[in-house]
Structure 1
Amino acid sequence: MRGTVYITPRIIGRWTCILFLVLAVLAVPVTAAGPGTMLTAGPGREYETIQAAVDAASPGSRILVYPGTYPEAVSVIKNNLYIMATGEDVVVEPPNTAGFQVLADHVTIQGFTIVGGKECAPGIKFEGSFNTFADNTIFFTDTCIGVNAIVCRDSDGGSNFNIVEGNTIEQADLGIIFVSGAPGAINRGNVIRDNTFVGISQNPIMITNGRGFLVSGNRIDEAPYGTCIAIGTESENLVIQGHHTIVGNTIGQCGHNGISLCAAPETALTHNIVTKNTIQNCGGDCLALEAGKGATLTNNQVISNSVSFSMFGSGILLEGDQEAVVRDNLILGNIVFNNHLNGISLMAGTERNRIMNNEVQTNDGVGIAIAGDDNVITGNSAHDNTMDVADLGEGNRWHNNEYTPMVGWATGWDENDAAAIIHTVDGGRTWQAQGDLSAWTGVHGNDVSAVDDQTAWVALGSDNRSDTRGAIMHTTDGGATWVAQTIPDGLAGGIKGVKGLSRSEAWAVSLGGRVLHTTNGGTTWTIVPHPTVPMSEVNRIDAIGDGEVWIADTTKSGDERYVIHTTDNGETWRQEPLPDVMPDAQTFIVSAYSTQAVWSVVRPYTDIYRTVDGGNQWLKVAQNVGGANDFDDICAASEETVWVVLNEMLTGNIFKVQVAEDGSVDVQSFRPSSFYSFEGITCMDDRIAWVAGLQFIDRFPDLPLGVIMYTIDGGEHWYSGTGPSNIKYWKVSFVGAGR
């Protein structure tokens, strides 16, 4: 039959083999797998390496990676891949680049252990959007400065809506980083949640140039050199940034700040929400909102956070540099406690912010310190702080806050040379005259001692030993009335010093060396004898209870100079010698911090002495601090720190002297006014202090005759209180302070 081909069985067999061979060849995956394909990688699997599986995959493929150690760096440039470790022992050890480098969208990397350290490459490095990096463990075996665990450095921006969650990161220099560097470029809508960070050297979480991030549920423990969550802008990026939500993170042991929102100069960071975070044990400020020069930091909300145990900073800080706009922010319902500096601080330049319903307690500085203007402070409870509130700005409105007023008194004399007393209930911001002391012309207010908000004593006297006029003035009603108490007659020079210990007990001393003691509120004052210890010209007395009293008497005894001390309420007295004293020196002032730690100075030199064993041994700890002048008053802030004022007649100086354990001395000098000399000082600690000053020769008739200034930040800034302009202020005392 024409056209008919007969195939013998032999021929059929040959064609059958050829057909099978062709089909087998077609089955070999020489091209990418189709969408939705499942691929496997690992020992004995389809692909020996992860990279081979990635290269073979098509968008939409799923790659399962089986247990084993993979010494490779995986590059992913295809979209829509799901790469998942099966089990806990899937370890990637990249040789010199990132464990995974992703330049794609919709990629998931999940469940791997990535061991970094070689060449200090990142664990995961990516650019793209809608990616997920979840449940990975990343740690570094070598010390690598600047190495990132998971990093998105998209210079052009546009890495959006990625999710980084459930990862554990250990021993990296930087944790999870989103950075967009080009001007105008930002990343948006990324999520960083439920990650655990342990031992990150610098910043566990850092976002620069972003908008609309969610940072939630992360646990950060120990970042000794950085800020735990750092969110900021870069200069020259003029796109308005922010709208981030930072919620429910647990943060501890941050070397710098706990959470920081920082707007770089000339940039804007707005509408962020920081809420329900627990932040503690920070080296700097636990929660800081800061704006650089010309930056905008507005409409941010700090709500319901627990902020505590800042070691060197404040709990919550709001601050702006020159020309910055820091306004319309809300600090609401936070619990702020046990911070080294202030609880909540609004620095100068902040305005129109709201501080509402916060619980602020047991902070070493000020509970709520407001140096900005036109802020609203309402419904807060501030208690058991060194100082509960301080208003250092203008136009701030305080409503329905609960706190203990910071009460103090000062004394001096008026333009008629009559003794004067003034009073404050707002920490020294404003002062009002009290009592009618016009009858005491020619007698000055020499000393003052505030016991509580109702009780104080004032010593009146002169510098003339032949003038026996003097008095101890006393109030038990907050200064509404002052009563001259009955004291022995004929006290040379009147009363030079007074120190109240309680509503019932106080000590006083006359210029001529008579020591007085009362235990019934001054109803009677008893002369305490000191037959074996001469006193002829006393300048200062201090007492702290438990029978401990110290007196600085200028009397010379041969080559020795002494601090006079009793430990038994004056039953016995002893002279405690000061070492290495110049021949013409005189013991001038003494200030006690505790029964063991006491400070003293001599005149006419600016040498400082201290005992830390209750007077058994005094040491000269600083010499010639203020040059050829006299120190005029001191306040013991702690065993390590003393405040000192120096009157230079035309002006004055303030010193803070700190002695380290090794004996080294740090001296800080402050000259906050060119118009006043300083004669009195009191202090709460090494941060909070007040000084009393006066114009000695009335050089500036248009200025008040005296001033009281104060600092709440260790002397960096000083503020002037407002009060009667006709009084020269001599000494100052606050409830709970060192004087």
Structure 2
Amino acid sequence: MTKRQIALLACTAALAASGVGAAAPTANKMTVHWVEPGESIQQAVDAAGPGDTVLLSPGTYRESVRITTPNLTLRGTGGLPTVIEPGATDAGNACAKAGNGICVAGTESRPVEGVTVRSLTLRGFAKSGLWASWTDRLKVQRVIAEKNGTWGIAQERFVRSELSHNIARSNGDAGLFLANTLDKEEGAADAKGTLITHNRVYDNRIGVTVRRLRNLTVDRNNATGNCAGVFVVGDESSPRAGAMTLRRNHIHANNKLCPKTPRLPFLQGSGIVLTGAEETLVAENRVVDNKGDSPLSGGVVLFKSFVGALNERNEIRDNVVLRNGTADLANRDTGKGNTFHGNTCKVSEPAGMC
């Protein structure tokens, strides 16, 4: 028996034990498409049907991959690293042309459903390690997205996504970036229960950015070493951004210095920042040791958006917010109905919120 046959048998056994390779209760059976370094991931993806798995052997692959098939799983074996980097021969690939590593691409009339990307390292792409648009129930799990030019893992026009147990580090802008849309101005989109949980984001410009969205949860993530930990971004559009939950995250020592942009002042020492958001719950987070003197510095900061939209009816409660500069809690806009209670903190702007 060859080494490849032995490895395939071992992997098949592991998949069966985990349930991935188990027979479906319907007449359709999942097919596993095995890919080794030097072989084309895209060819395997193109050959796969709904419900199939494209399984990558450990090693380094130099290409970009575009997924349009519903209920497809693209994953590494979960043992030794499986790395995808930019390739010299995939210039004709639309995903590569856009500067991305993996693209999950649906359309407005037919969003791609049920795709899972798991146990991969996406490194060194000009734009994003993973980019997704027009998706439903996308799962990105145990992915390392590092040293990409703009975002580690990014998506727009999506519902019911789950980003869990990923590492996003040393990316040019946000480690995790979620938005309603990038190509036009419009109101916040309903993310329909999207969950961002148990991720580690560090050494990015911003750890997690949530822009013009509603109905989303950011829970139990760890953000450190960024210029800012978590940004919730809204504006005057209708519906407004908000109606989300930020809970039980550990946001600490995000003290990297980043220069100003046309929309934001320089960043340093920002824990959780809300700009132009409404009806958002910030609760049970630990936000400590974020220090800087930017207008956006502080533990939990409410700040009007770059177009002047105010925060309204947000609740900040039961957080541990300590040793942040210039303040642990800071309400720096004039929006109405924002409440601060039950927080453990020392310094607030204005005084009296601790």
Please classify the TM superposition score into its range, dividing by the shorter chain length: 0.7 to 0.9
Q: In structure 1, what is the Cα distance between the partners aligned to 2:188 and 2:316?
A: 28
Aligned to 1:109: 54
Which residue of 100, 103, 107 maps to 1:148?
100
Give the match's secondary structure for 1:352: coil
Aligned to 1:196: 144
Aligned to 2:198: 248
Q: 1:172 Cα deviation (Å)?
A: 2.6
1:59-100 deviation digits (Å, cap 9, x = unpaired) = x9x9xxxxxxxxxxxxxxxx9532024xxxx21355xx9465
Q: 1:289 Cα deviation (Å)?
A: 0.5
1:319-346 deviation digits (Å, cap 9, x = unpaired) = 02xxxxx221100011112222111111
Aligned to 2:15: none
Q: Unaligned 5+ residue runs, structure 2?
A: 6-20, 24-28, 77-81, 257-266, 305-309
Relative to 1, partners in 2 of residues 1:147 and 1:240: Cα closer, same or farther, differing over 3 Å? closer
Checking the alignment, whether the CA contact within 8 Å between 2:132 and 2:155 is kept in structure 1 is: yes
Q: Which has the larger radius of gyration?
A: 1
What does residue range 421-432 of structure 1 map to in structure 2 within 5 Å?
none
Checking the alignment, whether the CA contact within 8 Å between 2:145 and 2:153 is kept in structure 1 is: no
Aligned to 1:171: 124
What does residue range 392-541 of structure 1 map to in structure 2 within 5 Å?
402=354
Aligned to 1:81: 31
Relative to 1, partners in 2 of residues 1:381 and 1:342: Cα closer, same or farther, differing over 3 Å? same
Relative to 1, partners in 2 of residues 1:178 and 1:237: Cα closer, same or farther, differing over 3 Å? farther
Q: 1:153 Cα deviation (Å)?
A: 2.3
In structure 2, what residue type is equivalent to 1:220? A
Checking the alignment, whether the CA contact within 8 Å between 2:163 and 2:196 is kept in structure 1 is: yes
In structure 1, what residue type is equivalent to 2:233? E
In structure 1, what residue type is equivalent to 2:288? F
What does residue range 264-663 of structure 1 map to in structure 2 within 5 Å?
269-283=213-227, 285-295=228-238, 296-310=240-254, 311=256, 312-313=267-268, 314-320=270-276, 326-339=277-290, 340=292, 341-348=297-304, 349-370=310-331, 371=333, 372-383=335-346, 388-391=347-350, 402=354
Aligned to 2:14: none
Relative to 1, partners in 2 of residues 1:200 and 1:99: Cα closer, same or farther, differing over 3 Å? farther
Q: Does 1:262 align with 2:194?
A: no
Q: In structure 2, what is the Cα distance between the partners aligned to 1:91 and 1:105?
A: 24
Aligned to 1:594: none
The percent identity for this pair of structures is: 16
Relative to 1, partners in 2 of residues 1:390 and 1:175: Cα closer, same or farther, differing over 3 Å? same
Relative to 1, partners in 2 of residues 1:347 and 1:146: Cα closer, same or farther, differing over 3 Å? same
Checking the alignment, whether the CA contact within 8 Å between 1:318 and 1:350 is kept in structure 2 is: yes
Give the match's secondary structure for 1:169: strand
Which residue of 152, 166, 169 maps to 1:218?
166
Q: In structure 2, what is the Cα distance between the partners aligned to 1:167 and 1:287?
A: 24
Which residue of 176, 180, 185 maps to 1:233?
180
Aligned to 1:92: 38
Relative to 1, partners in 2 of residues 1:171 and 1:331: Cα closer, same or farther, differing over 3 Å? same
Q: 1:362 Cα deviation (Å)?
A: 1.9
Q: 1:199 Cα deviation (Å)?
A: 2.3
Q: In structure 2, what is the Cα distance between the partners aligned to 1:238 and 1:327?
A: 13
Q: In structure 2, what is the Cα distance between the partners aligned to 1:101 and 1:114?
A: 17
Q: In structure 2, what is the Cα distance between the partners aligned to 1:84 and 1:236?
A: 42
Q: Does 1:161 align with 2:114?
A: yes
1:200-234 deviation digits (Å, cap 9, x = unpaired) = 232111010111101110022211x1210000011
Q: 1:350 Cα deviation (Å)?
A: 0.6
Aligned to 1:537: none
Q: In structure 2, what is the Cα distance between the partners aligned to 1:239 and 1:376?
A: 23
Checking the alignment, whether the CA contact within 8 Å between 2:33 and 2:44 is kept in structure 1 is: no
Q: In structure 2, what is the Cα distance between the partners aligned to 1:162 and 1:108?
A: 10
Checking the alignment, whether the CA contact within 8 Å between 1:92 and 1:99 is kept in structure 2 is: no
In structure 1, what residue type is equivalent to 2:242? T
Q: 1:127 Cα deviation (Å)?
A: 0.6
Relative to 1, partners in 2 of residues 1:382 and 1:229: Cα closer, same or farther, differing over 3 Å? same
Q: In structure 2, what is the Cα distance between the partners aligned to 1:297 and 1:105?
A: 34
Checking the alignment, whether the CA contact within 8 Å between 2:129 and 2:152 is kept in structure 1 is: yes
Q: In structure 2, what is the Cα distance between the partners aligned to 1:188 and 1:271?
A: 14
Q: In structure 1, what is the Cα distance between the partners aligned to 2:83 and 2:136?
A: 25
Cα-Cα RMSD: 3.0
Checking the alignment, whether the CA contact within 8 Å between 1:209 and 1:241 is kept in structure 2 is: no
Q: In structure 2, what is the Cα distance between the partners aligned to 1:238 and 1:83?
A: 41
Q: In structure 2, what is the Cα distance between the partners aligned to 1:358 and 1:169?
A: 34
Q: In structure 2, what is the Cα distance between the partners aligned to 1:210 and 1:335?
A: 29
Q: In structure 2, what is the Cα distance between the partners aligned to 1:287 and 1:130?
A: 30
Aligned to 2:307: none
Aligned to 2:84: 138
Q: 1:167 Cα deviation (Å)?
A: 1.3
Give the match's secondary structure for 2:324: coil
1:101-146 deviation digits (Å, cap 9, x = unpaired) = 4384222111244522xxxx51x21112111011143123669884
Q: In structure 2, what is the Cα distance between the partners aligned to 1:380 and 1:279?
A: 20
In structure 1, what residue type is equivalent to 2:133? V
Q: Unaligned 5+ residue runs, structure 1?
A: 1-39, 44-59, 63-78, 181-186, 264-268, 321-325, 393-397, 403-739
In structure 2, what residue type is equivalent to 1:361? L
Checking the alignment, whether the CA contact within 8 Å between 1:137 and 1:167 is kept in structure 2 is: yes
